[in-house]
Amino acid sequence: MKFTLNWLKEHLDTTASLDEIVEALTRVGLEVESVEDPAATLKGYITAFVISAAQHPNADRLRVCMVDTGDGNPIQVVCGAPNARTGMKSVFSPPGTFIPGKGITIGVGTIRGVESSGMLCSAFELGLSEDHEGIIDLPADAPVGVAYTDYASINDPVIDVAITPNRADALGIYGIARDLAAAGLGVLKKQAIVPVKGEGSCPVKVKLDFTQDDAHLAPAFALRLVRGVKNGPSPEWMQRRLKAIGLRPINALVDITNYLTFDRNRPLHVFDLKKTQGDLLVRRAKEGETVLALDGREYTLDPSMVVIADDKGVESIAGIMGGEHSGSDEGTTDVLIESALWDPLNVAQTGRKLGINTDARYRFERGVDPEFCVPGLDLATHLVMELCGGTPSELVLAGAIPDTSRVIAFPFAEVKRLTGLELPQTEMKATLIDLGFTVSGTGDVAHVSPPSWRADVEQKADLVEEIVRIAGLDRVQSTPFPREEATIAKPVLTLIQKRTRLAKRALAVRGLVEAVTWSFVSKDDAQAFGGGKPELALANPIASDLSDMRPSLLPGLMRAAQRNADRGLPNVALFEVGQIFRGDQPEDQVIAATALRRAMAKPDGAGRFWSETAQAVDAFDAKADAMALLEALGVPTGGLQIVPGGHPAFHPGRSGVLQFGPKVVIGAFGEIHPRLLEAMDVKGPLVACEIILDALPPPKAKPTKMKPKLVLSEFQPVSRDFAFIVGRDIAAADIVKLAQGADRNLITDVTVFDLYEGKGIPEGQKSVAIAVTLQPMDKTLTDSEIDAVAAKIVADVAKKTGAILRA
């Protein structure tokens, strides 16, 4: 919302400076976004007389001008403008002046061997227009040596404020003046609007054609005819103000409506009587009805919209934009002025549907002052009579001005309760009265009636806001806020919050870089990873590749890895810990921790190196990441089962599902399925693991923090190696488990230390070598005891797997 300082002063009697006003506006909640003060921007520019303009001795296109700025000391200026000539008047910028259009400060220089001080300026150089055809050509009677901003009357600062949606009243300059007056910046100039005495009734009747249920769509519609007007350009002062805030003057009648829109937050509309036919009917539009609006576009309407129609059809879209056919022009002599109330919600919906943004729509959808509907029409009539002459009719009012009066019981103590700020009752009362509220009653609880222009004020807290914003939030004292109990801060994180935090650090420690990727992926990617449910597809995605909520972190990370590879960084290790979506219910959102490695991004180092070139990543790198994560999160892995294959995102032979029994699946790891790589056009090798943190079993609750007693043996452990030849499909983990089971008390560790297939081993078989550690607790083992355990290990493994001990 823009306005000029002088325009504001029309309503505010003040001695405050521009800076003080700007500061106060922000302080009361009308945030100043920008101030343009042409007098400051164009400081130094003066009107000047070109005494002579002679051909430059060394340049065909340049002239050497002697310029008089009124002080009797002509200045020599080299000028390249084609229109520079002897005897003209123009605008001069002395050396040291900033040139906004060029972003430079002009100085004294030598141009092709001739000294030049300052410059003669075009409107473009002043930043006033796009016109840089030549220097400004002032009329012959222009005074010389006057500040150009004064001469051109562009010395009125323009202030742009951001108005919050609750403050419709501040969409009129009068309302802004009221706030400033309440804040002590001056006195509001209250002007009584004299009701217009019309001569004769308005010949055009108005009918609000609505069912009772629809009556709220157009509560009131006031109309008056002014006969015998002479329309033409509006006066200079009005045009200047409209232009200053970015509006284009059209003609006096239209300019008056625009002026009052900004002056009083009272949008109006004028019809040329000649161009209308019959009475006006305010109604819902008919399906498919069209109107050519004032912006020159034709709009197709539907019954959700409200229109003003005459016998010919739709003449105006209610509260949004008038029709081209019935608009006023230079030939208008009899003008109908409309001042109406519309339903804010309906105006907003219609405006959105039609894609029309106007100053009227903006105001009606935020709410105009209902009580000002008729006075606004009178004010407009006065202005029309003043600027265009004519004779007004009586007004016709269809519908009725709704009664919005209400009383709020307001304990003054509410201000202290909500803000901690203690203010004298007199000050609080005065603020409310200055803002137009009626305050009655005595004692600690007042009866407060909000003014008709403050539909946003409904209850006590709203009044507290009014009082505090005018008093100034800086007066609210910062008050220490200790913890509820005077104790050392207690832990606050939940298990999943702790695990989420820890998972990130644990994966980063393994050399993975944390990515944060979009929560949405393309439909194809979502479907490829088991998602793509209709309830998780956005109705209005911002882009087609960001259309569906992600069912897994894998597609986002895979694409991220590919982007890095495309930038020349093939060996990347990325992870993300974040939400994935399995449905649209709150419990369907779970936290996944996903780690992905590409190409040669091995933990020991990536890529080629003089000592050893890294191998390509494989399923075991992914498994190692998964196991490290579980270890860091303190999840006991004793009961963890690794089921080969089974996850559709991974290579069936080089992946595994991690589970604690078939009902507690916690994730998977492996090589990304080659078909997925191809479908997504992503290049491998890519390996990954994804663990669902919500699926991890919680730690066992324990009564104390005591760890179990540590029992150490006095006797040396013994190690024995066994090499088995088994079928290729036998899982090494099964051999380990069987060996472990041979003597649960004695055997403390079993590791696989060699795996071999090929020469010397029969086709379809492999050699698996394990080292078994025996830890006696009470005596040293004898050879026969060791042999007995060894024999049992061999027998147990052989029985269940068909293994034979390698010779």
Partner 1 sequence: MTDLAALEKDTLAAIAAASDEASLETVRVAALGKKGSISDLLKTLGAMTPDERKEKGPAINGLKDRVNEALLSRRTALKDAALDARLATEKVDVSLPVRESGNARGRIHPISQVIDELTAIFADMGFAIAEGPDVETDFYNFTALNFPVGHPAREMHDTFFFNPDANGERKLLRTHTSPVQIRTMMSQKPPIRVITPGRTYRCDSDQTHTPMFHQVEGLVIDKGSHMGHLKWILEEFCKTFFEVDNVKMRFRPSFFPFTEPSAEVDIQCSRKGGEIRFGEGEDWLEILGCGMVHPNVIRNCGLDPNEYQGFAWGMGIDRIAMLKYGMPDLRPFFDADVRWLSHYGFRPLDLPTLAGGLSV
Residues of this chain, 24-83, that bind partner 1 according to CB under 8 A: 26-29, 31
Considering only 453, 520, 722, 724, the residue that binds partner 1 (CB under 8 A) is 520
Q: Which two tokens stand for residue 5?
A: 């300082």
Q: Which residues, listed in sequence order, are joined to residue 642 by a DSSP beta bridge?
A: 658
Residue nearer to partner 1 on the CB measure, 199 or 514? 514
- CA atoms of 416 and 406, how far apart (whole Å): 24
Considering only 158, 250, 337, 507, the residue that binds partner 1 (CB under 8 A) is 507
* Residues within window 684-703 making contact with partner 1, judged by CB under 8 A: none
Residue nearer to partner 1 on the CB measure, 433 or 538? 538
539 belongs to the binding site for partner 1 (CB under 8 A): yes
518 belongs to the binding site for partner 1 (CB under 8 A): yes
- Residues in contact with 185: Cβ distance below 8 Å, sequence separation at least 6, in sequence order: 12, 14, 16, 20, 21, 24
The answer to whether 693 touches 496, Cβ cutoff 8 Å, is yes
The answer to whether 314 touches 430, Cβ cutoff 8 Å, is no
Considering only 161, 254, 464, 735, the residue that binds partner 1 (CB under 8 A) is 464
- Phi and psi torsions of 105, nearest 5°: -105, 125
- Closest CB 595 distance from partner 1, rounded Å: 10
- CA atoms of 1 and 476, how far apart (whole Å): 29
* Residues within window 317-356 making contact with partner 1, judged by CB under 8 A: 344-345, 348-349, 352
Of the ranges 265-273, 416-424, 714-722, 753-761, which one interacts with partner 1 (CB under 8 A)?
416-424
Considering only 465, 524, 694, 743, the residue that binds partner 1 (CB under 8 A) is 465
The answer to whether 576 touches 503, Cβ cutoff 8 Å, is no
Longest dimension (CA), the chain: 130
Residue nearer to partner 1 on the CB measure, 6 or 589? 589
* Residues within window 279-298 making contact with partner 1, judged by CB under 8 A: none
Helical residues (DSSP H) of 61-158, grouped into ranges: 148-151
The answer to whether 723 touches 754, Cβ cutoff 8 Å, is yes
The answer to whether 244 touches 156, Cβ cutoff 8 Å, is yes
- Closest CB 322 distance from partner 1, rounded Å: 22
Considering only 243, 312, 417, 447, the residue that binds partner 1 (CB under 8 A) is 417
Residue nearer to partner 1 on the CB measure, 191 or 497? 497
Taking the alpha carbons of 374, 376, 379, 380 in that order, is the dihedral positive or negative? negative
- Closest CB 748 distance from partner 1, rounded Å: 29
- Closest CB 705 distance from partner 1, rounded Å: 20
Q: Which two tokens stand for residue 94?
A: 């002395």
Residue nearer to partner 1 on the CB measure, 112 or 501? 501
DSSP per position, 496-522 = HHHHHHHHHHHHHHTTPEE----SEE-
535 belongs to the binding site for partner 1 (CB under 8 A): yes
Considering only 51, 104, 194, 461, the residue that binds partner 1 (CB under 8 A) is 461
Whole-Å CA distances, 685 to 242, 515, 556, 609, 682: 66, 19, 16, 19, 9
Considering only 505, 675, 728, 799, the residue that binds partner 1 (CB under 8 A) is 505
Q: What is the 3-state secondary structure (H, E, C) of 233-290?
A: CCCHHHHHHHHHCCCCCCCHHHHHHHHHHHHHCCCCEEEEHHHCCCCEEEEECCCCCE
- Closest CB 304 distance from partner 1, rounded Å: 12
Q: Which two tokens stand for residue 289?
A: 């009805």
- CA atoms of 207 and 219, how far apart (whole Å): 12
Of the ranges 114-122, 206-214, 438-446, 493-501, which one interacts with partner 1 (CB under 8 A)?
493-501
- Phi and psi torsions of 110, nearest 5°: -120, 120
* Residues within window 350-409 making contact with partner 1, judged by CB under 8 A: 352, 365-366
* Residues within window 136-195 making contact with partner 1, judged by CB under 8 A: 164-167
Neighbours of 505 (CB within 10 A): 11
* Residues within window 601-620 making contact with partner 1, judged by CB under 8 A: 601-606, 609-612
- Closest CB 550 distance from partner 1, rounded Å: 11
- Residues in contact with 751: Cβ distance below 8 Å, sequence separation at least 6, in sequence order: 736, 770, 771
- CA atoms of 803 and 797, how far apart (whole Å): 6
- Closest CB 500 distance from partner 1, rounded Å: 9
The answer to whether 391 touches 228, Cβ cutoff 8 Å, is yes
Q: Are strands 650-659 and 548-549 parallel, antiparallel or unpaired?
A: unpaired
- CA atoms of 307 and 313, how far apart (whole Å): 10
The answer to whether 561 touches 577, Cβ cutoff 8 Å, is no
Residue nearer to partner 1 on the CB measure, 254 or 536? 536
- Closest CB 339 distance from partner 1, rounded Å: 22
- CA atoms of 745 and 752, how far apart (whole Å): 20
- Closest CB 589 distance from partner 1, rounded Å: 5
Residue nearer to partner 1 on the CB measure, 83 or 519? 519
Residue nearer to partner 1 on the CB measure, 509 or 795? 509
477 belongs to the binding site for partner 1 (CB under 8 A): yes
479 belongs to the binding site for partner 1 (CB under 8 A): yes
* Residues within window 561-600 making contact with partner 1, judged by CB under 8 A: 563-564, 567, 569, 572-574, 577-579, 581, 584-586, 588-589
The answer to whether 535 touches 584, Cβ cutoff 8 Å, is yes
Considering only 108, 194, 493, 755, the residue that binds partner 1 (CB under 8 A) is 493
- CA atoms of 33 and 172, how far apart (whole Å): 17
Residue nearer to partner 1 on the CB measure, 546 or 804? 546
Helical residues (DSSP H) of 663-706, grouped into ranges: 674-680
- Closest CB 507 distance from partner 1, rounded Å: 7
Residue nearer to partner 1 on the CB measure, 53 or 680? 680
- Closest CB 8 distance from partner 1, rounded Å: 19
242 belongs to the binding site for partner 1 (CB under 8 A): no
DSSP state of 253: H
- Closest CB 36 distance from partner 1, rounded Å: 19
- Closest CB 796 distance from partner 1, rounded Å: 39
- Closest CB 341 distance from partner 1, rounded Å: 17
Residue nearer to partner 1 on the CB measure, 231 or 431? 431
Residue nearer to partner 1 on the CB measure, 472 or 646? 472
Q: Are strands 520-521 and 589-598 parallel, antiparallel or unpaired?
A: unpaired
* Closest residue by Cα to residue 312 from 274, 366, 354, 258: 274
Considering only 511, 645, 648, 741, the residue that binds partner 1 (CB under 8 A) is 511
Considering only 66, 147, 421, 643, the residue that binds partner 1 (CB under 8 A) is 421
- CA atoms of 464 and 444, how far apart (whole Å): 14
- Closest CB 566 distance from partner 1, rounded Å: 11
Considering only 15, 211, 426, 494, the residue that binds partner 1 (CB under 8 A) is 494
Of the ranges 90-98, 107-115, 456-464, 660-668, which one interacts with partner 1 (CB under 8 A)?
456-464
- CA atoms of 518 and 527, how far apart (whole Å): 16
- Residues in contact with 118: Cβ distance below 8 Å, sequence separation at least 6, in sequence order: 67, 75, 77, 92, 93, 94, 95, 97, 106, 108
- Closest CB 26 distance from partner 1, rounded Å: 6
Q: Which two tokens stand for residue 505?
A: 């650090």
- Closest CB 217 distance from partner 1, rounded Å: 13
How far the first Cα of the chain sits from its last, in Å, is 93
Considering only 58, 191, 357, 497, the residue that binds partner 1 (CB under 8 A) is 497
